Structure 1
Amino acid sequence: MTNIFYVEYDAAHNGNFIFDIPEGHDCWLLVITQTPAQFWVDGELKEYPAHSAVLYHPHQKIYYRACGERYINDWIRFETDESYVTETSLPFGVPFSLDDPDYCYKLFQLLVIENSFNNDYRESSVDCLLRTLFNKLLESYFHAEITPQHYNLLKLRAAIHNAPGNPWTVPGMAEIVRISPGYLQMIYKKAFGISCMDDVINSRIHLAKEYLIHGTHTVAEIAFRCGYRNVEHFCRQFKQVTGFTPRTFHKHTGSSFDSSAPKRQEASNR
């Protein structure tokens, strides 16, 4: 059972902000920073960057403060007997960087909304959101490395997956994140295990499958909607990724072909 005492996002304070609870709360406290801040860790004040998360267990000393003109965070104070919290592998009182702060921020927004409801589904909805949040925190904590460009890469990848039909090019993507094309290709592959153009191609083919399965568009119309200006090129690439031509795939919609088709791992940049 989980009970939220208070949850807030975009909590803003001036540069004099200090939060000091020597004996801690009698419940759990999770804080996620949007700006840099100083935390009391191992007997001294240490500065941590924005997008850091820190979890305090009940009765643990809590001390953190602003280290700039403004301090902003999201936080939740709650009690629970759920093992995903009480037996978590997360450190207590030691901040760590988030690998997807936007995702966690949206979860905080939903927690605020769900916690305001008073219905039979509130408890299960809140628990589901909190469980998801803790899963994301664990992913971040065990993330090998979060580079300065990591957050920009996440936004770029989300944009690709959301609109694969856009005219994506390596130079264009590099300009978005303000790095060189060569460096983009290197760090994108390292971050996500796939090259940026292969990610574009996979996203386009995934969208094309949706049109072929659920739509009534012609192959030429699908090619255009998925970012291809040449139907023959679309057909070749679709077959290279799935093992089938678009027409063959469409004819066998609902068969085992879609689930058993080989997945593309690498392709030359186009």
Structure 2
Amino acid sequence: MEIIAIRHDWPEKAGFVISRPHGREDYTFLHFMRSMEISVGGKTVTARPGACIFYAPGTPQWFRSESGIIHNWVHLGASVKETLARYGIPEDELLYPRATSFISDIFRLAEAAYFSEDPFKDEILEAYMTEFLIRFSHAIREEPHLPSVGRQEREKMQALRQTILTSPENKWTVPEMAALASLSPSRFHAVYKAVFGTSPMRDVIEARIRYAQSLLLSDGAPLVDIAETLGYADQYHFIRQFKAVTGETPGAYRQARR
């Protein structure tokens, strides 16, 4: 299973547009964390947060976000067609899998492996993509709404999560986030984990690290300044969390990609 390119929780600015009238020669998988305008079957529709699609080779691609975008994406070689058929994953169709946090988790690991020099990189990537496709196959066949979480509560969580992901530098606390959701801290934590499959503070930490990755590659700011921008009290706390999430220090990350 050839991975041509992959990114996890990748941000783009407001007004971002992709327009490929003739598609690509490979498969394109997209997972949107915000509402998007997207072309499906020749029609432009509004996809809800959490929407996914596997564009087949040659299928026209078009999507746009007026308010910016956070998404997971991967380009896969044409041989993945047989695997998609095996797992019952449709092509060129909007899909809404349940509890999509596993996508970011797997893509984060796969992206790190993709840029590594591990001698067994191909085998590692094959394993990650196989796990992703199997779990995705299960997720699109499950009931899209957890029975313990109502639709209104779920939508409130999705909106709040977008606020958190786009403002990772804020010094978020569970009580503060719970107040924004009009829930008690204990109920908020339980609902958040039920909906997204991860804890709210884990989401905050990973959002900060993603922002840090962008800052590390966009300029030569010292680590102490980046840590301060992200709301860390000291750079050593930032370095520990960065390494815990990515497997490497901020300095090593910057050097390897420059």
Q: TM-score range by the shorter chain?
A: 0.5 to 0.7
Q: 3-state DSSP class of the match of 1:120?
A: coil
Paired residues, what number?
A: 161
Report what 1:79 is aligned to: 77
Percent identical among aligned pairs is 9
Within 5 Å, which residues of 2 pair with 1:71-150? 71-82=69-80, 83-85=82-84, 87-146=86-145, 148=151, 149=153
CA distance in structure 1 between the partners assigned to 2:85 and 2:77 by the alignment: 10
CA contact (8 A) 1:39 1:45 kept: yes
- Which runs of 5 or more residues in structure 2 are unaligned? 158-183, 196-258
Report what 1:25 is aligned to: 24
Q: Which has the higher contact order (CA 8 A, sep 6+)?
A: 2
CA distance in structure 2 between the partners assigned to 1:112 and 1:6 by the alignment: 8
CA distance in structure 2 between the partners assigned to 1:25 and 1:8 by the alignment: 17
Report what 2:15 is aligned to: 16
Shift of 1:150: 5.9
Q: CA 1:117/1:20 → structure 2, altered by over 3 Å: closer, same or farther? A: same
Q: 3-state DSSP class of the match of 2:124?
A: helix
Per-residue displacement from partner, 1:17-74 (whole Å, max 9, x unpaired)?
11111111101110111211111123321111222111111111111111x4211111
Shift of 1:98: 2.6
CA distance in structure 2 between the partners assigned to 1:130 and 1:69 by the alignment: 30
Within 5 Å, which residues of 2 pair with 1:210-225? none
For normalisation by structure 2, the TM-score amounts to: 0.55
CA contact (8 A) 1:99 1:150 kept: no
Question: Partner letter of residue 129 of structure 1?
Answer: Y
Question: Partner letter of residue 14 of structure 1?
Answer: K
Q: 3-state DSSP class of the match of 2:44?
A: strand
Within 5 Å, which residues of 2 pair with 1:53-72? 53-66=52-65, 68-72=66-70
CA distance in structure 1 between the partners assigned to 2:114 and 2:89 by the alignment: 24
Per-residue displacement from partner, 1:124-176 (whole Å, max 9, x unpaired)?
11011001111121122111232545697xxxxxxxxxxxxxxxxxx985464
Q: 3-state DSSP class of the match of 2:45?
A: strand
CA distance in structure 1 between the partners assigned to 2:125 and 2:93 by the alignment: 25
CA distance in structure 2 between the partners assigned to 1:97 and 1:86 by the alignment: 18
CA RMSD, Structure 1 to Structure 2 (Å)? 2.7
Per-residue displacement from partner, 1:67-113 (whole Å, max 9, x unpaired)?
x4211111001215253235442222222223122211010101101
